[in-house]
Structure 1
Amino acid sequence: MTMGTRMRMGHRLRERYGPWAVVTGASSGIGRSLAEQLAAAGLNTVLVSRSAEVLDHLAADLRHRYAVEARPLPLDLAVGSGIEPLAEATAALDVGLLVASAGFGTSGAFLDSTLADELAMLDLNCRATVSQSWHFGKRFAARRRGGMILFGSVVGFQGTPYAAHYAATKAYVQSLGEALAVELAPFGVDVLTAAPGPTRSGFAARAGMTMGTALDPDTVAGSILAALGRRPTVLPGLLSKLLAYSTFGLPRWARVRIMGRVMRKMAAHPSPARSVAPP
């Protein structure tokens, strides 16, 4: 991306989605890269994750490097009604962009997982996402301007054995985002669902998985911001497009089996299930 392109994109992001952005899952991976790129574009950020110390360091770094406001908000969105403290903390801010990147997954055989892990994943990936979408969607519609970035995954376009419930949560987000993009457009609100492939975000290490090829979080974040306001879904990076488009013409049952073989090979220990980071 050239300097001129960066400047034009920064101006567009500030004008349409500024002055404040809320970024969940901001402590690592794609969420952190998005927070950094939004700050570089001149947007103030509310940084949300469970990692208070990491957020403090990130906020100080963004303030120093980009002369913007950055507020850390340590919060576990999967516990109770996480939207209430988030809504209270941002009530006085003119928020114009929600980046709902917080989430996690499990890998391995579904029956070898624990019900507690699967329900926690459901709470964070789905319940927290819909709560944030509803709350900030109403705020953005009232101001007649704003944007939301939700996170699906390439595994969410069909059932994916050995990531069965994780893929199901991402299918939920994909469907929600596609519908909200249509519903909120008349109010001037852009909704983008990002569906990345394997990304260097701690996913492989925490899942005990092997990734021969993975996307760079900064590249993924740049592709997402470039697509915001221009389309309802983005497959960021060549690898995401390759994984998705190579099976789109096949019957659904065939896609399920192919993705199952891919996931089984990637999982060094396909059972028991392990908690992993997004996407």
Structure 2
Amino acid sequence: MSRAVSPQGGSSALRDRYGPAALVTGASDGIGRAFARRLAGAGLDLVLVARREAVLADLARELQDRHGIAARVLAADLSDAAQVECVVRASADLEIGLLVAAAGFGTSGPFVEGDPGTELAMIDVNCRALAQLTHTFARRFVARGRGGIVLMSSLVAFQGVARAANYAATKAYVQTLAEGLHAELRPRGIDVLASAPGPVLSGFGQRAAMRITSGATPEEVAAATLRALGRSATVRPGLLAKALELSLKPLPRSGRVHMMGRVMAGMTAR
């Protein structure tokens, strides 16, 4: 039976349960950066993965100085399978007990008007790289008899969403994978959690060409997610995510598709 961590992510509970180290993708900003800071505060050593090496190096120094932890920087573009494999090899010497797969990006607008290279790169980052890392670390965790995996899903994962069709599809993959692995790996001592926030006030919206004026902060998402790790298969961090879930729950799937399409149209109006 998996044990829940303490309500604040605990000064020692996370390290006791999963430690001594965690690997966080997308750690250079937004939700990934918030996870890195919270995990460092809980005493876990870190492997920080993102494309921007200089930003990661600054974060590593900050966390080492503030919390006395060790931090390794691995600059990688996760849309490139060879670079994902480099991350796997470069972390093989560490006892990593927690994977937080927070890297990802979105696009918006009519699918047929999108750039095909960008849409395929999004699948590579959001799905293929996530699957590769999850498979690698799940095997390592099974061998050590314990571990934790956090996969970043989204409120859009539960139905098709017009004007974000491909992005929603990638998050549906993440959500389904996490649910299946939660059931599959829990008897082997591994906690798997899908974190499905609604709008988040981070750099994600700008890259995805979405106007996000209200939502959860990255810090709120990271805190709520770590509180839920070991308790359930899915968490929906943030009041807005919970409110949207309640409003969509009574609707048939076609109704949810319609409503989320209207929400997305409002967020992507030029």
Which TM-score band applies after superposition, normalised by the shorter structure? over 0.9
Q: What's the counterpart of residue 3 of structure 2?
A: none
Contact 2:182 2:233 in 1 (8 A): yes
1:68 is matched with which residue?
A: 69
Total equivalences in the alignment: 265
Q: How is 1:183-202 mapped onto 2 (pairs within 5 angstroms)?
A: 183-202=184-203
Q: Distance in 1 between matches of 2:245 and 2:169?
A: 16
Kindly indicate whether residue 268 of structure 2 is the aligned counterpart of residue 258 of structure 1. Answer: no
Q: Which runs of 5+ in 1 are unaligned?
A: 270-279
Task: Kindly state the Cα deviation for residue 12 of structure 1 after the two structures are TM-superposed.
Answer: 1.6
CA distance in 2, matches of 1:105, 1:51: 18
Identity level (%): 52
1:21 alignment partner, SS class? strand
What is aligned with 2:247? 246
Tell me what 1:96 maps to: 97
Separation of aligned partners in 2, 1:175 and 1:183: 12
Whole-angstrom CA distance in 2 between matches of 1:34 and 1:202: 15
Structure 2: state its 5+ residue gaps. Answer: 1-5
Name the structure 2 match of 1:167.
Answer: 168
Once the two structures are TM-superposed, the CA of residue 213 in structure 1 deviates from its matched residue by: 1.2
Aligned to 1:9: 10
Q: Say if 1:9 and 1:226, in contact at 8 Å, map to a contact too.
A: no
Q: In angstroms, what is the RMSD of aligned CA positions?
A: 1.2
Cα distance, 1:162 vs structure 2:
0.5
Deviations 1:219-243 (A, max 9, x none): 1110001001111100011111111
* Contact 1:152 1:195 (C-alpha < 8 Å) held by counterparts: yes
Q: Could you tell me how far 1:145 is from its partner in structure 2?
A: 0.6
Task: Please give the TM-score of this superposition, normalised by the length of structure 1.
Answer: 0.92
Q: Closer, same or farther in 2 for the Cα pair 1:72/1:111, shift >3 Å?
A: same
Q: Deviation digits for residues 96-134 of structure 1, max 9, x if unmatched?
A: 000001011100111110111111000110000110111
Alignment-mate amino acid for residue 38 of structure 1: L
Shift of 1:95: 0.4
Residue 210 of structure 1 is matched in structure 2 by: 211
TM-score (norm 2): 0.95
Rounded Cα–Cα distance in structure 2 between residues aligned with 1:268 and 1:214: 18
Deviation at 1:41, TM superposition (A): 0.4
CA contact 1:82–1:128 (8 Å) conserved in 2: no
